[in-house]
Amino acid sequence: MAPSFTARIQLFLLRALGFLIGLVGRAALVLRGPKFASKTPPPVTEPLLLLSGMQLAKLIRQRKVKCIDVVQAYINRIKDVNPMINGIVKYRFEEAMKEAHAVDQKLAEKQEDEATLENKWPFLGVPLTVKEAFQLQGMPNSSGLMNRRDAISKTDATVVALLKEAGAIPLGITNCSELCMWYESSNKIYGRSNNPYDLQHIVGGSSGGEGCTLAAACSVIGVGSDIGGSIRMPAFFNGIFGHKPSPGVVPNKGQFPMAVGGQELFQCTGPMCRYAEDLAPMLKVMAGPGIKRLKLDTKVHLKDLKFYWMEHDGGSFLMSKVDQDLILAQKKVVVHLETILGASVQHVKLKKMKYSFQLWITMMSAKGHDGKEPLKFVDLLGDHGKHVNPLWELIKWCLGLSVYTIPSIGLALLEEKLKYNNEKYQKFKAVEESLRKELLEMLGDDGVFLYPSHPTVAPKHHVPLTRPFNFAYTGVFNALGLPVTQCPLGLNVKGLPLGIQVVAGPFNDHLTLAVAQYLEKTFGGWVCPGKF
């Protein structure tokens, strides 16, 4: 199933164009990029910022810590650090302080015991940040699209409402890529977000503002969404935890853009956080009634699990080779599982993984149940209003006049060429079904698959333009409909985060979450930026 000569030439030209654009971007970075005295934010000195959401909620319930002190500590950290990372794009400090004061007043009345408080409000007083693509009442909801710069949310997205009902206090909204369709979080409204481990590197996308905000200890729990790795790539690049749930468990309602038709099932809303112990409690809250489809309260005996691993996709010519740092980090995990945990660990070669990008395109080309074509990206750019001519926008961009980012213009130009016709769709749909069957038979209900999060650690700004297909390392699991937890594995010699994806069979999210907690305990989890 090798690509045709013509297809190879087209892809070569596409990568060459991306390389030239990347050079322009790198030049812009040198000439116009923001200058900072340090390449990382200052390390955390306030102890309250080094506690998990669950630990903070417990201390607040026990009245050992005032909620207003916790919120103020995070506000102070944001004021110190956010100008460097540009993760939070709109604050709601005044409202957050009022809500924190109300929590302290409620607790002062001592009308309910600790167990009742935990049952009603598991995240009572815990600071929260939310991806700007989600509705948060009174906050912007543009998804970085200039046409929507005046859009203000009149209500909360379902998951945001559920977290607020559980006691969480939103501090603000976080940056994303334009229309959530690129893996660098930069747009014409809010600008670019920077990696707290090195400000000259990307934060990932599309939930990149959330990733860097959490990593820089400007928040402790956050909300992201994922249709091609938009939770997991930012979690990986920023050294935190992120979970893409099994499809259909967590409601997506209240975000823009909203996947519809054939893509609706593959868009997943999920939790992002610094500490693994917050993942399952967040998922329980965010899923609402959908939590009944999971087995999060089932005790997992890690030694009895069957672990499988694969160090790269098998050699797709579209993707970069996997960094040796990442391969070595993965092998350390494998050796530990074998020798220390005593678990069954097997190296596998799933040959169809090299078609990961093609399988993601197949997913995005799928028609809805009603036979309707998927939404066109170029129509989203115009917000279903004014017609957008991508070629004209490219010319305007070269002159510095376009209101759109170059990744969005490029996608709008290429989407019809990337979209599969019926023959090609059926061809790769068969590959996807075959690979999914192979994985399900392998994993069963007691198997876990370890796979690289990305071919490289967080690249420098604009470099993704030269490597547009690398996201397929995460995107393939959207197409396959499997739950995945992104886990940090420390830092490389340059101080950039390492990590790994932990994959399980459908609705076996409890397995990946249990492995995440074990890996955190074993390899240290999140590492505070600025201490390297």
The length of the chain is: 532
* Average pLDDT of adjacent 10-residue blocks, the chain of 532 residues: 56 56 51 68 97 98 98 98 98 98 96 95 98 98 97 98 98 98 98 98 98 98 98 98 98 95 91 98 98 98 98 96 98 98 98 97 89 87 86 96 96 90 95 98 98 98 96 98 98 98 98 98 97 67
E-assigned strand segments in 140-182:
169-174
CB contact at 8 A, 263 and 477: no
What whole-number distance in Å separates Cα of residue 223 and Cα of residue 214? Answer: 11
Q: What is the pLDDT of residue 30?
A: 47
Q: What is the pLDDT of residue 36?
A: 73
Single-letter code of the amino acid located at 465: L
Verify whether residue 246 is a known catalytic residue.
no
Where along the chain do its domains lie?
45-521
Q: What is the pLDDT of residue 29?
A: 47
For residue 25, what are the CA distances in angstroms to 37, 54, 76, 194, 372? 22, 41, 33, 15, 38
Nearest CA-CA partner of 290 in 407, 159, 435, 471? 159
Half-sphere exposure of 276 (CA within 13 A, CB side): 25
Nearest CA-CA partner of 503 in 208, 230, 244? 244
Catalytic residue, chosen from 131, 244, 354, 429, is 131
CB contact at 8 A, 61 and 114: yes
Catalytic residue, chosen from 52, 153, 177, 206, is 206
H or E element in which residue 509 lies? helix 509-523
H or E element in which residue 365 lies? helix 356-365
CB contact at 8 A, 270 and 159: no
**Residue 10 burial class via C-beta count within 10 angstroms: exposed 0-12, middle 13-18, buried 19 and up:** middle
What whole-number distance in Å separates Cα of residue 149 and Cα of residue 403? Answer: 11
Determine the distance from the C-alpha atom of residue 99 to the mean position of all C-alpha atoms in its chain, rounded to a whole number.
28
Cβ-proximal residues to 417 (8 Å cutoff; 6+ apart), any chain: 10
Q: Which fold has domain 45-521?
A: Amidase signature (AS) enzymes (3.90.1300)
Strand pairing partners for 491?
A: 497
What whole-number distance in Å separates Cα of residue 126 and Cα of residue 384? Answer: 38
Catalytic residue, chosen from 153, 185, 230, 246, is 230
Verify whether residue 177 is a known catalytic residue.
no
Single-letter code of the amino acid located at 93: F
CB contact at 8 A, 315 and 354: yes
Q: Could you please report the per-residue DSSP string of 462-473?
A: TGGGG-TTTTHH
Nearest CA-CA partner of 475 in 322, 377, 357? 357
- Phi/psi for 412 (5° steps) reads -60, -35
Verify whether residue 142 is a known catalytic residue.
no
End-to-end CA distance of the chain: 46
